[in-house]
Amino acid sequence: MSEDTLKIKAFSVKDIVFDTKYRFTDGHLAIPETISTSLPADFESITIRIVKPHHLDVQTNTIMDICPISTKVLGKIGDGITHTLTGAYFLITGADTTGIQLHDFGASNGLLKDKISLGKAGTPNEDDYMIFFDVLLKPNFSFDRQLVTTIFTLADQYLQPIRNILKMINGRYADETHEYSNESHPGKPKVVVVKEVAGQGAMYDNLLFPDEPSGMTNGVSIIDMNNFPVLLTPNEYRDGAIRAMV
């Protein structure tokens, strides 16, 4: 397969339930109700919730991230083969025990149906399941870059076993397959899309080129790159080369 070609194979999620182990069989996803690692000192608890389609009359803490569940099977970000789940999204939310929201400036806490816009680019559709990774911190926490990175890393570690299962599924059983090529058109106008990303610190950070689509491991912070411009191919962007933390 050409390095300029990205093939994304999608597997539909029919339902999600809690179980003691991660499983994905015939569209049925099972996930544990707790995380397997011990909590850092600033953390009071982490709660995993499953929100079913059309059951949005539930309270939520501020939504820090909406993440697709995808994994690299062959190649690196932007080429090769990616497996992804459709019908399910992963959301990171959080507050402290006094009710202070972790993204207090522009917080989206409240009734979920009033705080999320469905069917948009990067948001769940009305028939999708949502897995909530809800972080509750102790009072007087220090909201700095390290804390935000820790929250997102713990969430990423919770997701990784699902990705590992996806890696092992035979691609011929995918419900959908999409192939994208970085095409060149000599003699035509050259088009560049400029995307401005946050790099001020704390939750205003973006990781580039993680090992997994929209992942954390081995991603490079735009802050550590001194907010220097980075050139991405369309397929790298499409495949999750940027992990936003704001």
∠ CA 98-102-106, nearest 5°, is 110
**Predicted pLDDT of residue 2:** 47
Give residue 144's pLDDT band: very low, low, confident or very high (50, 70, 90): confident
Q: In the Cβ-directed half-sphere of 159, how many Cα atoms lie within 13 Å?
A: 29
Phi, psi of 124 (to 5 degrees): -65, 155
> Using an 8 Å Cβ cutoff, are 211 and 240 in contact?
no
As beta bridge partners, residue 84 has 10, 70
Its pTM stands at 0.93
Share of the chain above pLDDT 70, in %: 98
Q: What is the pLDDT of residues 177-206, one digit of tens each?
A: 999 998 888 999 988 899 888 888 767 899
Mean pLDDT of 148-154: 95
Q: Given CA atoms 246, 66, 47, 101 in this order, what sign does their dihedral have?
A: positive
Phi-psi region of 238 (alpha: psi -120 to 50; beta: other; left: phi over 0): alpha
Enumerate residues 6+ apart whose C-beta is below 8 A from 122: 66
DSSP state of 9: E
Do 96 and 134 contact (CB within 8 A), yes or no? no
Q: Is 112 left (phi over 0), alpha (psi -120 to 50) or beta?
A: alpha
pLDDT tens profile 54-103: 999 999 999 999 999 999 999 999 999 999 999 999 999 999 999 999 87
Q: Return the DSSP state at 31.
A: E
Digit-coded pLDDT (tens) for 22-48: 999 999 999 999 998 899 999 999 999
Q: Is residue 239 a contact partner of residue 213, using CB atoms and an 8 Å limit?
A: yes
